[in-house]
Chain A
């Protein structure tokens, strides 16, 4: 715990050091009820989550997002498909509200068409990718994913994964879950298991098929049906569990407490310099209709601790 501060004035004193070890209240006082209060409030307010997907077009990003949230987040054929790839980078966001058992989630998915096409990391990570990943990891939680894993055999998949892991290690790219934020031994054990399997090899599918009498999400090929939620076929369940079922809150906490704070420090220190320092990527502004989140590098009018401007 942070050390408590010195008294501010002779008459008013800040709390002194805590007394004996925590007292157990013998009869229930009702402090526990605060957890329910929290839950009620959380259910009422709803949750927010913002994801950005980066990668080559055609890899199945949209399908993946659709599979993750089991809904048509993206229309499967984007209207601009016939147009040539935009020369400059653009951000394209959609926001939806989905609800499950009374829990409302406001989901924002941001796509980056035009960038991914310069990535070609079939074999390994190239310098551009390394550079890109290094910078990204400093600003945001990055979860790398092997897409279209149905074109790799299990052995190829493992080999590819080892290569990627080695590359990441060699270049000190700290992907999520970051080692330095493991709080205790339980966290470390849990996260180590995840770190061993990163990047997850995933397959996305939004069609259902009949397999052994069960209705499953999968991709139908001539040689069989790739079941998305079958751990033997691909690691989609791991990704889904990581992102949604277990670590969603943690992702948000790290973004808020670490990435945003870092940005804030840098920004406040540079307040006398131009807003755009050297090396910042010049992103073309997205159309106002589509963009619900502010373009990350636009000059902010308010440097306030206003959470709605964060994402």
Chain B
């Protein structure tokens, strides 16, 4: 949990870095003290602060511990089984299919308790690793996941009101990389993945299903290690700077990668039930050091170096991420002319810059808006003018038509007048003739009238 974080903050001070291989830590300390003008005092009685480590331990017990393991390996290589065996618990995991289109990560958190120590254990498994035909991007989801945890932590750290002391640390403390027991060499996928992970997480490579190779094991281990070294992959080295554990850690470093066998099945051997895998030709005992390196792995991972793994994650991998991220954001410790720059100054400068940027953008948008309005106005005006022109045109046409019609009406009226004149003069003439002729003409007239009218 936040234990290592706590310890960091309370204990990690102006001492030189832990792993200066050249100087023993004692000499560093004394020099440090001299520099700081600190005297060593001798006391003439019992003060009682030897209880300090216990006070610290009690505090940690109260808070609980937190440990996050990432297991990377092909489907079916035995990741879940190994974890179950390591922690002697059957964590519920169902078998994954081989048909995932891309690599995913699945995380589960469990609470374990051993006497008075509470451990919040998070297991992250890769699902579908190595199953695709195109494995170029297989490592990317893993890298993204690790970065995401760092990012979450960084965000919490940068908050104004933060609560780091009860933050559930989800950063991966160790990556168990499962190598298939082919007996030949590292697969390209493995090499590529480890190369991309070694600067982000502590990698402990293990040879999975080690009961399938026995005599060629040593050669295989040597081959693997030399390949890793040749390609510059930085795997986790068990620390050798503390005298109490230096020897055993150094010995274990020689035995990497650990060849492990996992099993939760119990088989009777002698008069005890032990975890083992039963074959027709024999029984592979998990906790037998002659059979496999499981016990070594458990020793190193949990009993001896859990704390160191957490510490390295925090002070090396996380710090690297943090540094890169902050530099990306534009923060530096040293400004131009090599003068130290405080975060505050950088922040102010950035704020100013962003403020100016925003103003500029506002101006731009305003201009654009004005421009658009003008354009629209112009278009509308143009349309208006067109309409007006059309209207005028139509009016003119209409006017012309009207004039024409007037003309024709007048012409028609004239014709009518002319006709009625002729009609009346005809009538007068006919009346005169009738008076002179008598009734014969009247019959002709009657006969003619219907024709005439």
Query: Does residue A220 face the partner (Cβ distance < 8 Å to B)?
Result: no
Instruction: Give the A-B contact count at a CB cut-off of 8 A.
Output: 271
Interface residues of B in 69-112 (CB under 8 A from A): 86-89, 92, 102-112
* Complex alpha-carbon distance, A96 and B52, angstroms: 17
CB distance B120 to A305 under 8 Å?
no
CB distance A30 to B299 under 8 Å?
yes
Scan B6-28; emit 1 where CB is below 8 A from any A CB, else 0: 11111111110000000001000
CB distance B299 to A45 under 8 Å?
no
| Partner-B contacts on A (CB < 8 A) | 1-2, 4-5, 8-9, 11-19, 21-35, 37-48, 68-73, 95-103, 105-106, 183, 217, 240-241, 244-246, 248-250, 252-253, 256-257, 261, 264-265, 268-269, 271-272, 289, 292, 300-305, 307-308
* Complex alpha-carbon distance, A71 and B45, angstroms: 8
Q: In the complex, which of the residues B51, B60, B244 contacts A38, with contact meaning CB atoms closer than 8 Å?
A: B60
Task: Output the residue of A41, A103, A250 with the most chain B CB within 10 A.
Answer: A41
CB distance B105 to A68 under 8 Å?
no
Query: Does residue B434 face the partner (Cβ distance < 8 Å to A)?
Result: no
Number of interface residues of B (CB under 8 A): 101
Q: Chain B contacts of A257 at CB under 8 A?
A: 164-165
Q: Chain B contacts of A253 at CB under 8 A?
A: 6, 10, 59, 165
Q: Chain A contacts of B3 at CB under 8 A?
A: 38
Q: In the complex, which of the residues A33, A41, A98 contacts B43, with contact meaning CB atoms closer than 8 Å?
A: A98
Task: Output the residue of B9, B111, B114 with the most chain A CB within 10 A.
Answer: B114
CB distance B242 to A44 under 8 Å?
yes
* Complex alpha-carbon distance, A217 and B298, angstroms: 51
CB distance B15 to A45 under 8 Å?
yes
CB distance A244 to B49 under 8 Å?
yes
* Complex alpha-carbon distance, A86 and B434, angstroms: 161
CB distance A292 to B37 under 8 Å?
yes
CB distance A13 to B244 under 8 Å?
no
* Complex alpha-carbon distance, A178 and B245, angstroms: 40
CB distance B8 to A73 under 8 Å?
no
* Complex alpha-carbon distance, A29 and B298, angstroms: 8
Query: Does residue B56 face the partner (Cβ distance < 8 Å to A)?
Result: yes
B175-183, B221-229, B251-259, B340-348: which one contacts chain A?
A: B340-348
Interface residues of B in 97-154 (CB under 8 A from A): 102-115, 117-120, 122, 141, 144-145, 148, 152
Q: Chain B contacts of A269 at CB under 8 A?
A: 160
Query: Does residue B411 face the partner (Cβ distance < 8 Å to A)?
Result: no
Query: Does residue B61 face the partner (Cβ distance < 8 Å to A)?
Result: yes
State the Cβ distance, A304 to closest chain B Cβ, in Å.
Answer: 6
CB distance A37 to B144 under 8 Å?
no
Contact A41 to B307, CB < 8 A, known contacts A18-B110, A35-B57: yes
Q: Chain A contacts of B38 at CB under 8 A?
A: 95-97, 106, 292
Q: In the complex, which of the residues A35, A68, A246 contacts B55, with contact meaning CB atoms closer than 8 Å?
A: A246
Task: Output the residue of A13, A34, A271 with the most chain B CB within 10 A.
Answer: A34
